């Protein structure tokens, strides 16, 4: 097997606001620190004027090529041109179905790219973070119309067939492997766990003096909505003596611009409510470390949760909706959390109160999540990718 590979990674990367930018940040950095990586070619999206990509000095060389744009019809051409110029040993796509656009044609053309890369003669690997078969279109806020839902399902099936033309498709949940192999009759799907971004030293699991912070982190407005969490904390305040603060950390979903500003205006009279806006990578540890509990106010799920892995790595208790992939992930990877019924403020209030009033229980959840996180560090996940790269190159 060839070592010291030149790896091209097609992915958003901070300060880009595109979905999966944070995962891209850690994926690229861990590839750079891996001994089997000679160079990383980051094929990223173009940034607004005045913003630049910045990188740590540690790790192998990195060649940054910001060549594609969200909803651009010609992203496939820009990416292919860059790959032909840089000549990597392998190409890894860090994507989901709307990575290249939220309009049908640019999204579809973008998802065609891994197959075109394969046709060019470069090993093509796709890390696919969600699959259409496991997305609830209604609760995810995509459509409630059954006719439109059927159309979306049909389009999703066609797009999935395009993605599966790559040499290898990696998914982060075991159930996804079963669904894709059974429906599409393929044998090029592999389970590669999500992995934990960072491995901080074991925390004390103690909290600082003062109000306990109930925090949520992500991109909000579609299937992640914060109103239910704000209302749940207000309910807890009415019946508990534990002082609480609410922290909404993150930004709007690209499909719901203005959502958080509207929520902030709607709940302007709620005390102790903070909207952080975009959180730069260097401040992410602070946001998690200062929190007592991390809440997932989701109405649906679309894949594995990076925020859950982050919460675990910082040793935090979590409160999760009793739905879909999160329940599957907890069983597979050993996380623990208090569950609530999605979009139900009373149920969420009961879960929050149970954790914040019982410090021993909060610590129990925190400790279990920390050890679940450290058992699957992203450094190990990158080793898995290199093993797959080697098999593909040997088979070529």
pLDDT classification of 222: cutoffs 50, 70, 90: confident
pLDDT at position 382 over 60: yes
Question: So what's the pLDDT on residue 353?
Answer: 97
- For range 60-78, the mean pLDDT: 95
Question: So what's the pLDDT on residue 325?
Answer: 63
Q: Please write the tens of the pLDDT for every residue from 144-185.
A: 667 776 777 788 888 899 999 999 999 988 888 999 999 999
Query: How many C-beta atoms lie closer than 10 Å to residue 371's C-beta?
Result: 15
Q: DSSP for 81-149, please give it.
A: HHHHHH--SEEEEEE-TTSS-SSHHHHHHHHHHHHHHHHTTS-EEEEE---GGG--TTTTTS---HHHH
pLDDT at position 12 over 70: yes
What residue has token string 């910082």? 314
CB 253 within 8 A of CB 102: no
pLDDT at position 86 over 70: yes
Q: For residues 377 and 369, give the distance between their C-alpha atoms in angstroms, rounded to a whole number.
A: 13
* pLDDT over 90 percentage in the chain: 55
CB 104 within 8 A of CB 152: no
pLDDT classification of 275: cutoffs 50, 70, 90: very high
Question: Is residue 276 classed exposed, middle or buried when 0-12, 13-18 and 19+ CB atoms within 10 A define those classes?
Answer: middle
Question: So what's the pLDDT on residue 149?
Answer: 65
- For range 186-191, the mean pLDDT: 93
Q: For residues 92 and 122, give the distance between their C-alpha atoms in angstroms, rounded to a whole number.
A: 10
Residue closest to 393 by CA, chosen among 28, 12, 36: 36
CB 243 within 8 A of CB 211: yes
Mean pLDDT, the chain, rounded, equals: 88
pLDDT at position 197 over 60: yes
pLDDT classification of 327: cutoffs 50, 70, 90: low
Q: For residues 63 and 28, give the distance between their C-alpha atoms in angstroms, rounded to a whole number.
A: 11
pLDDT classification of 352: cutoffs 50, 70, 90: very high
- For range 207-226, the mean pLDDT: 89
Find all residues with CB under 8 Å of 230, minimum gap 6, and list them. Answer: 246, 263, 267, 270, 273
pLDDT at position 376 over 90: no
pLDDT classification of 115: cutoffs 50, 70, 90: very high
Q: For residues 118 and 96, give the distance between their C-alpha atoms in angstroms, rounded to a whole number.
A: 18
Q: Tokens in use for 275?
A: 């909207």
Question: So what's the pLDDT on residue 274?
Answer: 95
CB 45 within 8 A of CB 66: yes
Continuous H helices in the chain:
21-32, 75-86, 104-119, 146-163, 174-184, 227-239, 259-266, 284-289, 306-313, 324-333, 345-356, 359-374, 378-395
CB 79 within 8 A of CB 43: yes
Q: For residues 282 and 376, give the distance between their C-alpha atoms in angstroms, rounded to a whole number.
A: 22
pLDDT classification of 130: cutoffs 50, 70, 90: confident
Question: So what's the pLDDT on residue 172?
Answer: 83
């Amino acid at each position: 097997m060839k070592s010291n590979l030149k790896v091209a990674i097609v992915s958003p990367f901070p300060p880009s606001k595109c979905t999966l930018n944070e995962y891209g940040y850690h994926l690229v950095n861990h590839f750079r620190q891996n001994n089997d990586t000679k160079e990383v070619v980051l094929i990223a999206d173009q940034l607004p004027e005045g913003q630049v990509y910045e990188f740590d000095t540690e790790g192998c060389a990195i060649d940054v090529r910001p060549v594609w744009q969200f909803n651009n019809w010609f992203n496939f051409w820009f990416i292919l041109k860059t790959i032909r110029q840089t000549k990597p040993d392998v190409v890894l796509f860090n994507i989901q179905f709307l990575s290249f656009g939220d309009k049908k044609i640019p999204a579809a053309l973008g998802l065609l790219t891994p197959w075109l890369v394969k046709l060019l003669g470069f090993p093509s690997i796709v890390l696919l973070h969600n699959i259409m078969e496991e997305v609830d279109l209604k609760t995810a806020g995509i459509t409630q119309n059954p006719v439109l839902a059927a159309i979306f399902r049909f389009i999703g099936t066609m797009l999935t067939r395009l993605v599966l033309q790559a040499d290898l498709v990696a998914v982060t949940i075991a159930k996804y492997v079963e669904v894709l192999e059974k429906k599409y009759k393929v044998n090029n799907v592999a389970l590669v766990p999500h992995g934990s971004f960072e491995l901080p030293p074991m925390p004390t699991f103690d909290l600082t003096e003062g109000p306990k912070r109930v925090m949520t982190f992500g991109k909000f407005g579609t299937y992640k909505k914060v109103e239910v969490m704000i209302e749940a904390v207000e309910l807890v305040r009415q019946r508990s003596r534990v002082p609480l603060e609410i922290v909404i950390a993150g930004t709007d979903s690209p499909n719901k611009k203005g959502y958080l500003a509207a929520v902030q205006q709607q709940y302007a009279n709620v005390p102790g409510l903070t909207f952080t806006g975009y959180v730069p990578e260097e401040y992410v540890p602070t946001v998690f470390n200062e929190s007592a509990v991390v809440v997932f106010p989701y109405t649906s799920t679309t894949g594995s949760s990076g925020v859950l892995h982050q919460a675990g790595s910082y040793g935090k208790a979590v409160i999760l909706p009793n739905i879909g992939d999160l329940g599957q992930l907890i069983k597979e990877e050993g996380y623990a959390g208090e569950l609530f019924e999605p979009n139900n403020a009373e149920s969420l209030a009961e879960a929050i109160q149970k954790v914040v009033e019982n410090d021993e229980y909060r610590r129990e959840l925190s400790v279990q999540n920390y050890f679940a996180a450290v058992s699957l560090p992203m450094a190990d996940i990158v080793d898995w990718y290199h093993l797959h790269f080697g098999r593909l190159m040997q088979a070529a």
